[in-house]
Structure 1
């Protein structure tokens, strides 16, 4: 039996997984990992295609160009954060709203470690319009968290802006140091930090 003709589509296709087995989610995860490890400028579309064992045309058809990949990574983090904020804002039990936000945000960041790292360190590579939109979203998200803190702890003695800063700083830094091999699970870290906030380490009355 002879193989495919030299100029046939089968012969021209790069070896590896069939394109139908690669999803946009796979592409975003691979791009985020490489951007995080090598830097955005140092990563090419060919690098991403090679990591997925697909041809570059398949990559472009699934996720667009490199800038679009970066924007999609930012959108993934923002969409998750918006969902978590909305759930906290809608919580009927105000005493649980902040705990819900802290736990789910820590889980979201840690489970999307590479994307979170890219989100925090690669905004300068976004087009100007996307940078402006990202900055506006960040300001609004911060104020939404502040309002959730005020609703959950109306009698707290510490400025809610300070508490919001402490919470967001912890969430942003967690992907840098958390290890699955550590003594505490991700869930335990999230619950312990939420308890620290709720039990008065930051919200104690003056």
Structure 2
């Protein structure tokens, strides 16, 4: 039975138009994130982003209000991806050690991607104080999840006793720094880099003495 609409009509259903618009908006944001990562936020103009997309500058304004909104959205998406990485793993079985490894692997992968890299290379500093507060709240949430996971590992004995706060800062800081120097054209893939960094973080550099403590330099 026909619903009265011409199947050949050039007008898309409202839901289809909304989906298409959102896809194009994400394309604008992703292109902008890539430009920010490569040349810096202040050195990237809306004209630059439009040229990369092969569209006019007014077209950009159909999806975003200004460059600041673009950066806010890029960082927000990156932080939400990092936050979701923990949600996908925490409490789904296995030891805290195993879960931490998976979260670290996902974290390292995300910071080598456009939005995740933008969190580290650009961040929230160019934004207004209100926008910075919103994004820093997301960062605190990610930090709390790292701490809780480490605390659980210490309690169950799968992780060595340590200060969860310092441990969380160290892990997130080391993995985040990958975004600063990672190059997709480098000799190692993002997965290889993540594996080596995680191995160093979990097992350390020193062999340690008979007591298991790291020996001081001679």
TM superposition score normalised by structure 2: 0.72
What residue in structure 2 maps to residue 81 of structure 1? Answer: 82
In the alignment, structure 1 residue 56 sits paired with structure 2 residue 57: yes
CA distance in 1, matches of 2:185, 2:37: 21
What residue in structure 2 maps to residue 107 of structure 1? Answer: 109
Classify 1:73/1:180 alpha carbon distance in 2 versus 1 (closer, same or farther; 3 Å).
Answer: closer
Specify every segment of 5 or more residues in structure 1 that has no aligned partner in the other structure, as ranges.
Answer: 1-18
Classify 1:138/1:48 alpha carbon distance in 2 versus 1 (closer, same or farther; 3 Å).
Answer: same
Displacement of 1:86 in angstroms is 0.9
CA distance in 2, matches of 1:180, 1:122: 20
Classify 1:165/1:131 alpha carbon distance in 2 versus 1 (closer, same or farther; 3 Å).
Answer: same
Displacement of 1:105 in angstroms is 0.5
**Which runs of 4 or more aligned residues in structure 1 lie more than 3 Å from their structure 2 counterparts after TM superposition?**
115-118, 179-184, 195-202
8 Å contact kept, 1:96–1:152: no
What residue in structure 2 maps to residue 186 of structure 1? Answer: 190
C-alpha RMSD of matched pairs (Å): 2.7
Displacement of 1:181 in angstroms is 4.8
What residue in structure 2 maps to residue 7 of structure 1? Answer: none
CA distance in 1, matches of 2:205, 2:145: 21
SS, match of residue 146 in structure 2: helix
Classify 1:161/1:170 alpha carbon distance in 2 versus 1 (closer, same or farther; 3 Å).
Answer: same
8 Å contact kept, 1:67–1:126: yes
- What pairs with 1:77-156 in structure 2 (closer than 5 Å)? 77-94=78-95, 95-112=97-114, 115-120=115-120, 121-154=122-155, 155=157, 156=160
Question: Would you say how many aligned residue pairs link Structure 1 and Structure 2?
Answer: 184
CA distance in 2, matches of 1:141, 1:116: 13
TM superposition score normalised by structure 1: 0.76
Specify every segment of 5 or more residues in structure 2 that has no aligned partner in the other structure, as ranges.
Answer: 1-19, 214-218
